[in-house]
Amino acid sequence: MAAPTVKVALGWSGLGLGVRRAALRLPGLVQVRWSRYGPEYQDPQTDKEYYRKPLAQLTEEETYERELRKTQVIKAAPATKTCSVFEDPVISKFTNMMMKGGNKILARSLMTQTLEAVKRKQFEKYHAASAEEQATIERNPYTIFHQALKNCEPVIGLVPILKGGHFYQVPVPLADRRRRFLAMKWMITECREKKPRRMLMPEKLSQELLEAFYNRGPVIKRKHDMHKMAEANRALAHYRWW
């Protein structure tokens, strides 16, 4: 797991218990989103294969690592992190983003219904297609989901920078996690806002995912719009100082 971003706010710089001392420490800023776990807490290892390896086969580093973990404090694994073969971190993250008011059951059921809808639509296409096209049609909902989100990720983003009393939209390279976040956020907002009244979320989401998979549709358009804006504002790129 990458080092989490330090969420900071301007104000009183009192440091409470368990504040993570991360690399980025801007003076005069204090963290607002922080974890109760201190920096000494290690992430839990949920991979079954790690524990199934017989002790005789471990290399020196691995034995050292194991001994070290015995002395370290480990965080509790969240309920959604399983050692299931079918678990997908991207899908879990998307489900969390779709969740409203902590209703994980509803979000998860919507997600599973979406995957099922995607699968059924692809099967329909498969049966209607000729033999040569059948080889090209992808029927795995997980791969379609990943590819669709990858297609929606912007390469470059815009950041408002204050200069001379005005905010300018400056083109900026985005970190991987920001791109993934934006792709998912755009997908969810698109489905929530542009959905016809009586259409259910799984149907709309499956439609949008399939369109994004084939590189068409409103979310891809939004990505292209973002790219065009960045291209238009490329003169302002000098305002970026990092």
List of residues contacting another protein (CB under 8 A): 84-86, 111-113, 115-116, 119-120, 123-124, 127, 139-142
User: Among 112, 115, 200, 150, which residue's Cα sits nearest to residue 123?
Assistant: 115
**Which residue's CB is nearer to another protein, number 109 or number 189?**
109
Residue 214 CB, shortest distance to another protein, in Å, is 19
Residue 90 CB, shortest distance to another protein, in Å, is 15
**Which residue's CB is nearer to another protein, number 64 or number 123?**
123
CA 233 to chain centre: 27
Instruction: Give the span between the Cα atoms of 125 and 139, in whole angstroms.
Output: 10
Residue 15: CA count within 13 A, CB half-sphere: 9
Paired strand residues for 160: 169
Greatest extent of the chain over all pairs of C-alpha atoms, in Å: 67
Instruction: Give the span between the Cα atoms of 97 and 84, in whole angstroms.
Output: 21
**What contacts 24+ positions apart, CB below 8 Å, involve 117-126?**
117/202, 117/203, 117/205, 117/206, 118/144, 118/145, 118/206, 118/209, 118/210, 121/206, 121/210, 122/210
**Which residue's CB is nearer to another protein, number 93 or number 227?**
93
**Which residue's CB is nearer to another protein, number 7 or number 120?**
120
Residue 139 CB, shortest distance to another protein, in Å, is 6
Residue 97 CB, shortest distance to another protein, in Å, is 18
CA 29 to chain centre: 26
**Which residue's CB is nearer to another protein, number 118 or number 182?**
118
Residue 47 CB, shortest distance to another protein, in Å, is 12
**Which residue's CB is nearer to another protein, number 31 or number 206?**
206
Residue 141 CB, shortest distance to another protein, in Å, is 7
**Which residue's CB is nearer to another protein, number 116 or number 225?**
116
Residue 217 CB, shortest distance to another protein, in Å, is 22
Angle subtended at Cα 224 by Cα 218 and Cα 225, rounded to the nearest 5 degrees: 85
Do residues 39 and 18 lie in contact, with contact meaning Cβ atoms separated by under 8 Å? no
